[in-house]
Amino acid sequence: MPDGTRPVRLQDAGPPPDLLLAPLPATVADALRTAAAWPDHLRPGAGSTAALWELLATLAAHDLAVARAVEPHLDARAILDQTGTGSPLDAAATTWGVYAAEDPGPALTATAVDDGWLLEGTKPWCSLASDLDAALVTARVADDDARRGLFAVDLRAAEVQPVDAPWPSRGLAEIPSTPVRFDRARATLVAEGAWYLDRPGFWWGAIGVAACWFGGAVGVARRLHAHAAARPDDRLLAMHLGAVDERLAAARVVLADAAARVDASGAATRGGLDPEPEEARAAGRVLAKRVRATVARTCEDVLRLAGHALGPGPLTQEPEHAKRVADLEVYVRQQHAERDDASLGGLLAAGPAPW
C-alpha cells in the first residue's frame, strides 16, 4: 500500500475502521462529497473516538487540505447531534462548516423576528464558505451584547456573500478562510447563550484538530523514511529518522490516551442543551491543551528535522512534499504556542500539582 494511502493508526490492535479502507478523496470537493455520506457515529465520545481521529489523521497524511475540510464538517454534525434536533435546515444542506471566530471589529448580530432570526454583519475566518451548503455560526443578539447564540444558516442564500478578499497563503491554499457578509440572512437558532463553548465535550473537537496535525507530521516523516531507507549507510539520516520516530511515538500515545479518556467520560451521552458540569469541562480543557501542545511541538520538530535531513531538494522539486510542509506550517499555527502554554499553566496553578 502506498505511503500516501496507508492508514495512520493510534491503536495497535484490531483492523482499521472500514472508512480507512475506501479510496481516499483526492480533492477538497471530493472530500466534502464523501464526508456528507459518512455515518453519524463519527463523533468524539461516542465510543469510537480513536477510530474518528485515525480517520482524520489518515486523511491528513494523504492531504492536509482534505482533512482540514472534513474536520469542521464532522464537528458541525456532532454539535447538531448533541442538540437532539437533527439538521435544522433542508435535507439538501449536506456539507457544514463551523464559524465561531471573532475579531476586534463589529460583531455579527442576530435579530429575532416573528418567524425566526436574521443575521447582520460580517463574520471573519469563514473557511470554504463558497463551497459549503450551511454553517453553524456564533453571533451576538442585537441590543444585548452579553447575550449570544449559535445559529444555523444556509450559505447558499442570496443574503450570504463571501467577501472578495485575497487569500495569499501558500499553505492550505485550497481552504480560503476569508470573511462572509450576512445581509439580514435568515437563520435558525440552534442554542442560546454560551452553549457552544459550554456544551459537553467542546474540548474534544479541539483534540480532533490535533489529530489532523499529527497526520500531517506522519506524511512528512514518511518522506524522510523513504529517503533514509534508500541510504541505509547514512548514519546522519538514521539519527534524524530516529529523532522523528521518538516525537511521533510520544504524540501517538498522547492521542490514543486522550481518545480513551474521551470515550470513558461519556461526554457525548450528555446530550441536550444543558451545559457541561464545570469539573468535567475543566478536565477537558486541560487535556485538550496538553494534547494540542504535545502534538504541535511534535509537528514543529518533525518539520525541522525533516528539513535538516532532506535539504532543499524535495521542497523545490516535489510538489506533494512542498505542499504538505506548507500546509502543516499553516495548520499547526491554530495552536497559539507560548500563549497556550501560559493558558495551560494558569489552569494548573489554580489547583494542586497534577503530577
CATH code (residue 181): 2.40.110.10
Confidence of residue 161 (pLDDT cuts 50, 70, 90): very high
Neighbours of 53 (CB within 10 A): 26
Is residue 327 a contact partner of residue 171, using CB atoms and an 8 Å limit? Answer: yes
Residue 90 lies in a domain: no
* Boundary (domain end) residue, out of 194, 211, 231: 194
- Cα–Cα distance measured from residue 228 to residue 245, given in angstroms and rounded to the nearest whole number: 13
**pLDDT, mean over the chain:** 91
Closest to 56 (Cα-Cα) out of 101, 15, 25: 25
**Residues of 67-78 as b/e, b for ≥16 C-beta within 10 angstroms?**
bbbbbbbbbbbb
The C-alpha cell of 95 is what? 456539507
Residues 203 and 189 in one domain: no
* Boundary (domain end) residue, out of 169, 194, 219: 194
User: What do you get for the CA distance between the two ends of the chain, in Å?
Assistant: 42
pLDDT in tens, 34-43: 998 888 778 8
Query: What does the pLDDT average to over 58-78?
Result: 96
DSSP SS3 for 85: coil
The C-alpha cell of 264 is what? 470513558
Residues 118 and 262 in one domain: no
Domain count, the chain: 2
The C-alpha cell of 201 is what? 465535550
Is residue 185 a contact partner of residue 159, using CB atoms and an 8 Å limit? Answer: yes
**Domain containing residue 214:** 3-69+199-349
The reported pTM is: 0.94
Bigger pLDDT: 51 or 198? 51
Residue 194: predicted pLDDT? 81
Residue 106: predicted pLDDT? 81
Confidence of residue 59 (pLDDT cuts 50, 70, 90): very high
- Cα–Cα distance measured from residue 40 to residue 36, given in angstroms and rounded to the nearest whole number: 10
- Cα–Cα distance measured from residue 3 to residue 244, given in angstroms and rounded to the nearest whole number: 16
Is residue 134 a contact partner of residue 153, using CB atoms and an 8 Å limit? Answer: yes
Q: Which residue has the cell 463551497?
A: 131
Residues 120 and 231 in one domain: no
Helix orientation angle between 49-62 and 64-83, rounded to the nearest 10 degrees: 150
Residues 241 and 336 in one domain: yes
Residue 17: predicted pLDDT? 64
Query: What does the pLDDT average to over 252-281?
Result: 82
Query: What does the pLDDT average to over 156-177?
Result: 96
- Cα–Cα distance measured from residue 265 to residue 341, given in angstroms and rounded to the nearest whole number: 24
Confidence of residue 163 (pLDDT cuts 50, 70, 90): very high
Q: Which residues pair with 183 in a beta bridge?
A: 120
- Cα–Cα distance measured from residue 315 to residue 323, given in angstroms and rounded to the nearest whole number: 8
Residue 329: predicted pLDDT? 98
* Boundary (domain end) residue, out of 194, 221, 245: 194
- Cα–Cα distance measured from residue 71 to residue 113, given in angstroms and rounded to the nearest whole number: 33
pLDDT in tens, 308-331: 999 999 999 999 999 999 999 999
- Cα–Cα distance measured from residue 73 to residue 86, given in angstroms and rounded to the nearest whole number: 14
Residue 349 has pLDDT above 70, yes or no: yes
Query: What does the pLDDT average to over 249-261?
Result: 97
Q: How far is CA 20 from CA 5, 13, 310, in A?
A: 9, 15, 29
Share of the chain above pLDDT 90, in %: 73
Residues 180 and 311 in one domain: no
Residue 261 has pLDDT above 80, yes or no: yes
Residues 322 and 207 in one domain: yes
Residues 45 and 163 in one domain: no
Residue 1: predicted pLDDT? 47
Confidence of residue 267 (pLDDT cuts 50, 70, 90): low
Confidence of residue 179 (pLDDT cuts 50, 70, 90): very high
- Cα–Cα distance measured from residue 304 to residue 280, given in angstroms and rounded to the nearest whole number: 36
Residues 291 and 233 in one domain: yes
Residue 269 has pLDDT above 80, yes or no: no
- Cα–Cα distance measured from residue 170 to residue 73, given in angstroms and rounded to the nearest whole number: 23
Helix orientation angle between 278-310 and 337-349, rounded to the nearest 10 degrees: 150
